Amino acid sequence: MHKHSYRLAAAALLLLSAASAQACEIWRDEDFGIWRANCNLAEDFRNKVMLSHSFLANYDHKIINFKWPDLHIRKFKFNVFGTSVDIEADIENLGQGNAVASQLAVDVSIGDPLTGMQYSGPMTFMVTVPALNANTSRRVAVGSVSVPNNLQDWDLVLLGVTDPPTMAQPVRGLIIESDETNNVRNHACRWFGPNPDTSLQACN
């Protein structure tokens, strides 16, 4: 079907060019896989009137199918020991290509739910994520934080980024991925004190 369309398009281009030498501006749109043309014909030979014509035509577009990785934070996991909270993250490669070892950046802030204000932070953790084959995941240890005391509830607010941007690659990070829009994950959980407010999910 594409080759047939291509032959018809080529014939149309020749006819239009013959009708008016320099009447058509023709170019190939690599992104959409089509020929594009804008033609201003000098005249319609039957009606002797001015006219213009535009058309599109398919052409055989060479498609290279690269298999890129796609890193994503599936979830955070918390282990509470007294006022200390150990943080882990499940990193998965959703893409069709293998991913080399990469970095995971996580900012952790502690909020006071009684005042609605940030108590401290952010504390930044930079973790090395081992190489991940396509459609595999790996749990990595992020770090440990401590809430100020055990007298009330405290909120942990996390911002995690897989393959974070660098000075060398400020837009996409060091790894070329099939999807660069799903690298960020936000999460909040609550460390419960003696009188817990369960309106936010627990960290443990």
Q: What's the pLDDT tens digit per position in 95-108?
A: 999 999 999 999 99
Cα–Cα distance between 155 and 181 in angstroms, integer?
27
pLDDT of 5: 42
Q: How far is CA 130 from CA 75, 102, 120, 150, 186, in A?
A: 17, 7, 30, 36, 22
Report the phi/psi class of residue 32: left, alpha or beta, with left for phi > 0 and alpha for psi in -120 to 50. Answer: alpha
Domain region containing 14:
2-58
Task: Please report whether residue 64 resides in a domain.
Answer: no
Q: How many CB atoms lie within 10 A of CB 33?
A: 14
Task: Please report whether residue 132 resides in a domain.
Answer: yes
Task: Please report whether residue 65 resides in a domain.
Answer: no
Same domain flag for 124 and 184: yes
Task: Please report whether residue 200 resides in a domain.
Answer: no
Q: What is the pLDDT of residues 65-84, one digit of tens each?
A: 689 999 999 999 999 999 99
Q: Which of 18-27, 30-39, 117-126, 143-152 has the highest mean pLDDT?
A: 143-152
Indicate the pTM of the whole model: 0.68
Task: Please report whether residue 201 resides in a domain.
Answer: no
CATH value at residue 92? 2.60.40.10
Number of helical (H) and strand (E) elements in the chain, helices listed first? 1, 10
Same domain flag for 86 and 178: yes
Same domain flag for 155 and 112: yes
pLDDT of 82: 96
**Count: domains in the chain:** 2
- Within the chain, residue ranges assigned H as helices are 2-19
- Nearest CA to 42 among 16, 4, 8? 16
Residue 180 tokens read as 């660069």
pLDDT of 147: 97
Same domain flag for 90 and 48: no
pLDDT of 4: 44
Task: Please report whether residue 94 resides in a domain.
Answer: yes
pLDDT of 138: 97
Q: What is the pLDDT of residues 5-32, one digit of tens each?
A: 444 444 444 444 444 444 556 666 555 5
Q: What is the mean pLDDT of residues 32-52?
A: 51
Task: Please report whether residue 91 resides in a domain.
Answer: yes
Q: Is residue 150 predicted with pLDDT exceeding 80?
A: yes
Q: How many CB atoms lie within 10 A of CB 14?
A: 10
